[in-house]
A and B are shown apart, each in its own frame.
Chain A
Amino acid sequence: NAGVTQTPKFQVLKTGQSMTLQCAQDMNHEYMSWYRQDPGMGLRLIHYSVGAGITDQGEVPNGYNVSRSTTEDFPLRLLSAAPSQTSVYFCASSYSIQGEPYFGPGTRLTVL
């Protein structure tokens, strides 16, 4: 199993640009989530999904959209990038909302 994969590994955007961070898992996990990691702040939940077609907001959802059309994929869209969105983004999946998350390798995003 590849586990949780994320692309790209690195991305530089200009303010106002949009892009999609890709996340896929091959463990047939129902629960998927997106976090951002900033120095001294741990991981903060952006959006999550409890199954295909079902998404909900986390702690810091503003400026981000998600959709879940399949069990495997959970892309994160930045609608209009801002410097405050410079961060490392992690996708995670688990067999249930109470299961331990399995994390992808992360995407390091810089917004200029």
Chain B
Amino acid sequence: AQSVTQLGSHVSVSEGALVLLRCNYSSSVPPYLFWYVQYPNQGLQLLLKYTTGATLVKGINGFEAEFKKSETSFHLTKPSAHMSDAAEYFCAVISYSSASKIIFGSGTRLSIRP
């Protein structure tokens, strides 16, 4: 069975500081991995995804994530936080099998301090 764990339900960083949101997954077969962002009172928007190939994936708004198979991790980073990055972030996984459906983590709320 596949699962996703997001460490920290709430992360607070100063504007201009590094953003690091942690995601670990379990999957018995190679996974597809995703990060979504949800701004207040809106739906989820895809930030970036990993399917195959290069393990460092770049997404929108300056975010990137690195797939580390040995650590079963897919942490999301951004070098310099901006006030507009305040939102909730969800990590998600699909296993590469026809019967699999996407599984979401419980989310991490990112706050940015001025």
B42 near A106: Cβ-Cβ < 8 Å: yes
Enumerate chain B residues within 8 angstroms of A43, measured Cβ to Cβ.
44, 90, 104
A98 near B106: Cβ-Cβ < 8 Å: no
Enumerate chain B residues within 8 angstroms of A98, measured Cβ to Cβ.
32, 94, 96, 98, 100
Determine if B80 is an interface residue (Cβ-Cβ < 8 Å). Answer: no
Query: Complex Cα distance A98/B92, Å?
Result: 12
Selected contact of A42 from candidates B45, B46, B105, CB within 8 Å:
B105
Give the interface size bracket for A toward B.
20 to 34
Selected contact of B106 from candidates A40, A90, A100, CB within 8 Å:
A40
Determine if A34 is an interface residue (Cβ-Cβ < 8 Å). Answer: no
Determine if B101 is an interface residue (Cβ-Cβ < 8 Å). Answer: yes
Interface size on B, residues (CB 8 A): 22
A42 near B43: Cβ-Cβ < 8 Å: no
A-B contact pairs, 17 of them (CB 8 A): A35-B104, A41-B106, A42-B90, A42-B106, A43-B90, A90-B43, A92-B44, A97-B98, A97-B101, A98-B32, A98-B98, A100-B32, A101-B44, A102-B46, A103-B45, A104-B43, A106-B41
Q: Which residues of A contact B (CB under 8 A)?
A: 4, 33, 35, 40-43, 45, 48, 58, 90, 92, 97-98, 100-106
Enumerate chain B residues within 8 angstroms of A33, measured Cβ to Cβ.
101
B104 near A97: Cβ-Cβ < 8 Å: no
Determine if B34 is an interface residue (Cβ-Cβ < 8 Å). Answer: yes
Q: Which of A90, A100, A103 has the most chain B CB atoms closer than 10 A to its own CB?
A: A100
Enumerate chain A residues within 8 angstroms of B105, measured Cβ to Cβ.
42
Query: Complex Cα distance A33/B92, Å?
Result: 15
Chain B's closest residue to A48 (CB) is B101
Query: Complex Cα distance A92/B9, Å?
Result: 24
A40 near B98: Cβ-Cβ < 8 Å: no
Determine if B82 is an interface residue (Cβ-Cβ < 8 Å). Answer: no
